[in-house]
Amino acid sequence: MNEVLFVMGICALVSMVSALCMLFIRKKIGYDELAKHNDVAGFIYAVIGVIYAVLLAFVVIVEWEIFRDTKSKVAVEVEAMSCIFRDSRVFSNVEKRRAIQRDLMDYATMVINEEWPMLAKQQSSEKALNRVHRIFRQIADLRPKDDYEKLWYQELIVQVNKFSDARNQRVLCCFEAIPDFMWWVMIIGGAITIGFSFLFGTGNTTPHVLMVVALCCIITLVLLMIYALDHPFSGIITVKPEAFIEQLRHWRAYQAEGL
């Protein structure tokens, strides 16, 4: 609800300022003078609108791909953790097997409760990273007793490396964002697009105000959406740790059954 009020407030503020500026320009220059240039201004405005629309569409697609890629990396990490937990059941060393499973559960808990809020601040948890190293050492200390366990051990090594790589990629995703220069281009381009709409002469002021307000709202909403997608772990639209939560719930149920 707070996010909706924030978006509505920003749109209302930008629209109000734009409408006042349009009324000032209309009063300062005059309707008759503005109307003389409607034909030429219309062609120029069409070009400006197309260029700006292409720019916004490009940025939205890039941001959406970053967002989806972040979710995909989270899924890969959880998938690798699940494989390690499951494959460890094959080994006859019960103590080692349970230690690996316990460390995986502790790691998932740390990521959910500690590291996820830190990612919003572009930070990561040292405790979670140390737990990854501990899981690696636990697996490295495993000694397969026969050929059957050796085959599973090779798969376990693949999965633990995949797990570590996926974690690194997930953490790096919190630093992904479009450059500041691109933000300036979009903001200045939006200001030019909105400002150009003030230069048309219309016989009735009310429709002109409504058109300017509608244009402001659309541009502001798109920019706010880009801003929300720009930081996958913070803001209005975020990647959440549901995959970790669901996997941890599954593991706890497994342990409760004594399997």
- Structure confidence by residue, pLDDT tens digits, 28-42: 777 677 777 777 777
| Interhelix angle 94-110/242-256, nearest 10 degrees | 150
User: pLDDT, tens digit, for every residue of 172-182?
Assistant: 988 888 888 98
Q: Is pLDDT at 259 greater than 70 in this prediction? A: no
Using H for helix, E for strand and C for coil, what is the string for the chain? CHHHHHHHHHHHHHHHHHHHHHHHHHHHHCHHHHHCCHHHHHHHHHHHHHHHHHHHHHHHHHHHHHHHHHHHHHHHHHHHHHHHHHHHHHCCCHHHHHHHHHHHHHHHHHHHHHHHHHHCCCCCCHHHHHHHHHHHHHHHCCCCCCHHHHHHHHHHHHHHHHHHHHHHHHHHHCCCCCCHHHHHHHHHHHHHHHHHHHHCCCCCHHHHHHHHHHHHHHHHHHHHHHHHHHCCCCCCCCCCCHHHHHHHHHHHHHHHCCC
Report CA-CA distances (Å) from 57 to 51, 62, 87, 121: 10, 9, 44, 27
Above pLDDT 70, what percent of the chain?
97
Q: What angle do CA 83, 81, 252 make, to 5 degrees?
A: 95
The mean of the pLDDT values for the chain is 86
Please state the pTM of the whole predicted model: 0.80
Report CA-CA distances (Å) from 67 to 1, 43, 161, 183, 202: 22, 36, 24, 18, 43
Q: What is the mean pLDDT of residues 164-177?
A: 89
Report CA-CA distances (Å) from 202 to 23, 25, 39, 59: 12, 13, 12, 33
User: pLDDT, tens digit, for every residue of 70-94?
Assistant: 999 999 999 999 999 988 888 888 8
Q: What is the structure's pLDDT at 1?
A: 59
Q: What is the structure's pLDDT at 195?
A: 85
Report CA-CA distances (Å) from 152 to 87, 148, 157, 194, 258: 7, 7, 9, 63, 22
The alpha carbon of 110 is separated from its chain's Cα centroid by a whole number of angstroms, namely: 21
User: pLDDT, tens digit, for every residue of 101-144?
Assistant: 999 999 999 999 999 999 988 888 899 999 999 999 998 888 88
Q: What is the structure's pLDDT at 82?
A: 92
Q: What is the structure's pLDDT at 188?
A: 92
Which residue matches tokens 């150009």? 196
Q: What is the mean pLDDT of residues 43-51?
A: 86
Q: What is the structure's pLDDT at 130?
A: 92
